[in-house]
Structure 1
Amino acid sequence: MTGDLENENRGIIPRTLQFLFDAIQKRPENVYSIEVAYLEIYNEIGYDLLDRRQQRDFAVTRLENLPVRGECWKFSLRFRRISIREDEVGRLHLKNLTFYCVKNLEDAFELLLLGDNNRVIADTPMNLQSSRSHCIFTIIVSAKQFGAEQYKRAKVHLVDLAGSERVYKCSITGTILTEAKHINLSLHYLEQVIVSLGQESVGHIPYRNSLLTSILRDSLGGNCQTVMLATISVHFSNLEETVSTCRFAQRVALIKNYLKLNFETDVQSENALLKAENERLKQQIKVLTRQIVQYLE
């Protein structure tokens, strides 16, 4: 999802951030506020990857470096655990997940790299860089025209799902096996939600079966536009996984959502927009002041 930030091998997340800031530069009539957060779901527990208070002391790159069952408490000590709260109108709030306001592309890239460095990744018999967790990079964009009382607000979830690997092919045991079970189970619950959304006659959507589907509730069947990229293998030995992935993507294509603009009036976001507008006006004043001084000289 990240790739190399310096060349054409950039991943989806940096390309999205680049597109976003380029688009903002072309719309000077609006004031924008950009906030980002990075969430990891490891063994069905959410962690804030941008928790600056603590960072992982090492990069997990090999199976033997992953924490054993008795050492899983280290993750709880290093990173804030995320919990879900639902308000009276049904909106979800993620407690302990921090959103950082970014003013430019460099700030956003810095946070992205910080979160990537804190992820749990290992090499397995099936994948040399296997994600042992699901990760969600969230971007919240608020836009307001000068003099307007309301602002438009949009949220983008960029989700990197851990791959579903057949346990019997990987020959894994212990903690790695436990991780694989959590990954496969959460992907199964995600598929259940997608199948239910594709059937108009189904009344109940099982969002609450897993943390992943709970967080993505408003990005799957709500006021949203969802795109899924399915990665497959050309090797015959992976035919079973490839067919399963294609069927999963086919089910996703059956979901129909109807979009509408989000207009809100919120004190915190309003303050962020006003601060951004104030900063922009200060920069304009500096430029005009320099021009006046040069003119008088």
Structure 2
Amino acid sequence: MTARSSEVKVYVRTRPTACFAQELIEYLPDEQTVNVRHRRDSRKGVMNNQMSSWSFRLDGVLHNMSQEDVYQSVAHSVVLGALEGYNGTIMCFGQTGAGKTYTMTGATESYKQRGIIPRALQEVFHEVEQRVDHTFSVLLSFLEIYNETLVDLLASIKTGRAVQSGALTVVEEPGGGVSVKGLSLHPVHNEEEALNLLFEGEMNRIIGEHALNKNSSRSHCIFTIHIESRSRTLSGASYVTSKLNLVDLAGSERLSKTGSEGQVQREAMYINRSLSFLEQAIIALADRRREHVPFRQSKLTHALKDSLGGNCNTVLVANIYGEAAQIEETLSTLRFAARMKCVRTEPSINEHVDPALQVRRLHKEIQLLKQELSIHDTLANRAGAAYESLSETQVAEVQSQVQRYLAGTLDEITIVSVRQIQEVFTQFKKAVHEQEQKVKEQLSQKYSLVEKTENIMSSPVKGEEPVGAVGEVEVGFGLGLAVPSQRHTRPQSPNKSKGRKSKESSRMLHEPQVQQRALL
């Protein structure tokens, strides 16, 4: 299917707070535009070149919106597209403590506060139950990127260990996408099994505490739903696959505000560096004059290669802190969101063909066509029709029919297959060749007879006069007449003899053909 180009959809969501900076952040009534004002730094003097206001136009503003409304606005269409065969990616970006994990996973205290991932799992299995004309297989994977190391959060289910690290690598696929080699895939059959895997992976995530967030994510996490769909009604060997990546990025943070030290500080440095590389990749993708995009600068950008600029429906949720003290981080997040909106992707259905099933289907189709031809020939009273090579008995039957047709005892030759037509022409060719040989033999015999006759005629008997020829036949030689002394005559009367002679002369003049036959 032909890919259709589309822009990345970008939404901004504000964390609820009692100290919302209304004088600095303004949401326009169109629910798509955000205006930000920033106070001038008086320490730089009265005259300076600092901008004091910015305007960002995005696809939607999610301000004071419930988890259900956020899911319907952001993820509903992407999840349905994944069931049709389109890859999808939903990611949350923003500073630490802005509500990314809450948007993606939700709170465990209340069912209504579920995030995008639990709601997406619920909708996937609801659609699987409704679409009875297709068979679906759903598999899950949970990847963590911690300090530039890939970790399988669901490895403990198979290995019995808490976390398996260091054995995963990002590899390029032939179609231009990427996959993580060594990442475990877990089949699930209902929503309950899927949620259990989600909670298992969440328990294995690495979190830390600092001044802005008591449960700060210290790693990037990618929860992927792999879907394969096959039609029950169509007998074709084609099927569709898709990946739905639900990405919870770690938050950017300033060490001066978080007060991080030791291991937490080291984690923050890795997080900020990977997010910086992510922003560089987005800038390169937004600039259409750039040919090279630095996806391999970090594990995060490499793992998200096909989600950012490839065959994927991509949605970004920019989470911001709506307080005056965090206005610089808010501006940074909105700038990233504006750049992301300039990125274009080319989503298309991932349709595949099963080679083994295709071969079996073609063999079965050939057998069905042969059976159909056989049934058709039977109904048309064409007994003995075949579509394989003719046997010796069938060849002999065709030869007999051709000979009878040439002899005139058979009016027509019944044709029942293409191979019989070829054999009929072969027998006709043989018959023509045999007839040519017979004609040549007859002509050679006649030429020999002519030469022998001419030799006899050219050597007369001693004492006899040469015999004159009175006629020639079609074969090219003449017959002589007996001399009068040797002719057998019967005595007749003078009158009758004269009349009979004139009569015979007239008959011989007007009937030469009869004369020739008589002479023969």
What range is the shorter-chain TM-score in? Answer: 0.7 to 0.9
The answer to whether the 8 A contact 1:41-1:134 is kept is: yes
> Cα deviations across residues 73-125 of structure 1 (Å, max 9, x unaligned)?
xx6xx546321233555443312200111111001000000000000012211
Q: In structure 1, which of residues 15, 27, 38 is the aligned counterpart of residue 119 of structure 2?
A: 15
State yes or no: 1:3 paired with 2:106: yes
What is aligned with 2:59?
Answer: none
Aligned-residue CA RMSD (Å): 1.9
- The one-letter amino acid paired with 1:163 is G
- The one-letter amino acid paired with 1:218 is D
Q: Which SS does the other structure have where 1:139 is aligned?
A: strand
State yes or no: 1:41 paired with 2:145: yes
Paired with 1:157 and 1:101, the residues of 2 have a C-alpha distance of 16
Paired with 1:144 and 1:27, the residues of 2 have a C-alpha distance of 11
The answer to whether the 8 A contact 2:149-2:165 is kept is: no
- The one-letter amino acid paired with 1:22 is H
Q: In structure 2, which of residues 207, 222, 227 is the aligned counterpart of residue 141 of structure 1?
A: 227
- The one-letter amino acid paired with 1:171 is G
What is aligned with 1:127?
Answer: 213
The answer to whether the 8 A contact 2:149-2:166 is kept is: no
1:251 to 1:223, Cα distance in 2 relative to 1, 3 A: same
Aligned ranges 1:168-187 → 2 under 5 Å: 168-187=256-275
State yes or no: 1:82 paired with 2:185: no
Q: In structure 1, which of residues 38, 50, 60 is the aligned counterpart of residue 154 of structure 2?
A: 50
The answer to whether the 8 A contact 2:170-2:181 is kept is: yes
State yes or no: 1:92 paired with 2:197: no
> Cα deviations across residues 150-204 of structure 1 (Å, max 9, x unaligned)?
1111111100000001111122222111100100010011111111111111100
What is aligned with 1:190?
Answer: 278
Q: In structure 1, which of residues 237, 246, 250 is the aligned counterpart of residue 338 of structure 2?
A: 250
> Cα deviations across residues 215-248 of structure 1 (Å, max 9, x unaligned)?
1101110011100111111111111111111111
Percent identity, aligned pairs only, is 41
State yes or no: 1:108 paired with 2:194: yes
State yes or no: 1:203 paired with 2:288: no
The answer to whether the 8 A contact 1:138-1:155 is kept is: yes
Paired with 1:40 and 1:27, the residues of 2 have a C-alpha distance of 33
Q: Which SS does the other structure have where 1:226 is aligned?
A: strand
The answer to whether the 8 A contact 2:150-2:165 is kept is: no
Q: Which SS does the other structure have where 1:18 is aligned?
A: helix
1:14 to 1:266, Cα distance in 2 relative to 1, 3 A: farther
What is aligned with 1:294?
Answer: none
- The one-letter amino acid paired with 1:128 is K
The answer to whether the 8 A contact 1:48-1:80 is kept is: no
1:87 to 1:27, Cα distance in 2 relative to 1, 3 A: closer
Q: Which SS does the other structure have where 1:32 is aligned?
A: strand
What is aligned with 1:153?
Answer: 241
- The one-letter amino acid paired with 1:2 is T
Paired with 2:339 and 2:214, the residues of 1 have a C-alpha distance of 29
1:251 to 1:195, Cα distance in 2 relative to 1, 3 A: same
Flag as ranges the 4+ runs of structure 1 deviating above 3 A: 78-81, 87-91, 265-268
How far is the alpha carbon of 1:54 from its aligned partner?
4.1
Q: Which SS does the other structure have where 2:317 is aligned?
A: coil
Pick the structure with greater CA Rg. Answer: 2
State yes or no: 1:241 paired with 2:329: yes
Paired with 2:115 and 2:354, the residues of 1 have a C-alpha distance of 33
Paired with 2:270 and 2:149, the residues of 1 have a C-alpha distance of 10
1:30 to 1:249, Cα distance in 2 relative to 1, 3 A: same
- The one-letter amino acid paired with 1:39 is L
What is aligned with 2:40?
Answer: none
> Cα deviations across residues 223-275 of structure 1 (Å, max 9, x unaligned)?
1110011111111111111111111111111111222111013589x9xxxxx
Paired with 1:35 and 1:168, the residues of 2 have a C-alpha distance of 42
Paired with 2:214 and 2:261, the residues of 1 have a C-alpha distance of 17
**Bigger shift: 156-165 or 121-130?**
121-130
State yes or no: 1:259 paired with 2:259: no
Instruction: List runs of 5+ in structure 1 lacking aligned partners.
Output: 57-74, 271-297
The answer to whether the 8 A contact 2:154-2:184 is kept is: yes
Paired with 2:219 and 2:261, the residues of 1 have a C-alpha distance of 17
1:38 to 1:200, Cα distance in 2 relative to 1, 3 A: same
Paired with 2:299 and 2:220, the residues of 1 have a C-alpha distance of 10
The answer to whether the 8 A contact 1:208-1:214 is kept is: yes
What is aligned with 2:453?
Answer: none
The answer to whether the 8 A contact 1:51-1:80 is kept is: no
Paired with 2:299 and 2:355, the residues of 1 have a C-alpha distance of 28
1:220 to 1:91, Cα distance in 2 relative to 1, 3 A: closer
State yes or no: 1:29 paired with 2:133: yes
Corresponding pairs, count: 249
Q: Which SS does the other structure have where 2:139 is aligned?
A: strand
Question: TM-score of the superposition, structure 1-length normalised?
Answer: 0.79
The answer to whether the 8 A contact 1:80-1:96 is kept is: no
